Amino acid sequence: MRKTGQARRIAAALLLAALLVPVFSFAQELTGRETALTEEILIKTGEGANYDRVIDIAGEGFLYYAQNNDVFRMAGINGDDRVGKTGCAATTLATVLVNQADYEMIDTVAALAPDAIRIDTMNINTHGGRPTERKFPVEEKCDYCRYLPICILNIEHRSHMRTSYFDKYLNAYGLEFQKTRDVETCLTEIRERNALVIVCSGTNESPVSPDSGHYLVLAKVADGYVYCMDTYVRDKYPADKKHLIELLEPGLFRVQEERVRELFLTGTKFIVYPATGHRWTQEEYDGIVAESLAVLEKHRQEERKE
């Protein structure tokens, strides 16, 4: 039953991405002055999967962001870096924020930006990529929700975010959190207080990413397993020689609780507590996407009048 439901949600997400392309086909009509970068360009640049969706973890819905969605995975960060390759820190942070903070505060990220946030599929940095007037302006709560990882990368201008940036965002969103190096403390807080935990799987023995550290979210402890959200969508973990990881669906795997230390979770771990008891449904997120598209349609109409 689990696999059937998960497959249906993934298929629905991919179908939604495909259906959105013809909705915003007016790009072919543009002549003369290039207008602002809008949704049809974001989608057409991607030509593929969008794995952002609500996933069920032991009976609770969590909004999941993927760093290697086709739309943004090749967008540059500080030169040769790409979101799909090195954007795990910001995407993991965004995943925790959107699930633990009050949705009414989702646009708090704007207050941390030195300038109005405009996003681009070519280059994430504010002063790179396409001309400013062609970048998409993020202004509404629904857009901050959809593009939160990209907004964070836009502000920080870096892919390898230091843990001090986690403090900054968690404080800005008014979230209670604590830092620890102890894995057992993390598991206890997940069980007892519905915490989400930002961790890094590092060292050359990591079954997740032995070549470089990779951030994950420890989301749930249930039935003897620890459930982990991995913002890098993949269909296998080649470095997992001990068959530790059980991949449940794109972006979600679990390991036996007694073996969780074999993930080699190094350094400081951020235990983040929920501000509300809210958990996501796919219907709810689909509504936010629809709201965002309506905003974009209004934006398109205003551009046509100019």
Residue 268: inside a domain: yes
Structural domain of 164: 8-305
Question: Which tokens sit at 48?
Answer: 């593929």
Residue 65: inside a domain: yes
What is the chain's pLDDT, residue by residue, as a tens digit (306 residues)?
A: 434 455 555 555 444 444 333 332 222 232 323 333 445 555 444 445 678 899 999 999 999 998 887 666 556 555 556 565 667 888 999 999 999 999 999 999 999 998 888 877 666 655 556 666 667 788 999 999 998 998 888 888 655 667 788 999 999 999 999 999 999 999 999 999 999 999 999 888 999 988 888 899 999 999 999 999 999 889 999 999 999 999 999 999 999 999 999 999 999 999 999 999 999 999 999 999 889 888 877 766 776 666
pLDDT of residue 19: 38
Residue 181: inside a domain: yes
Residue 1: inside a domain: no
Residue 2: inside a domain: no
Residue 3: inside a domain: no
Residue 238: inside a domain: yes
Question: Which tokens sit at 289?
Answer: 């996407």
Going through the chain in order, the beta strands assigned E by DSSP cover: 53-57, 60-64, 76-77, 81-82, 118-119, 136-137, 177-180, 196-201, 214-222, 225-229, 246-249, 252-256, 265-272
User: Structural domain tally of the chain?
Assistant: 1
Residue 10 in 3-state DSSP? helix
pLDDT of residue 216: 97
Residue 134: inside a domain: yes
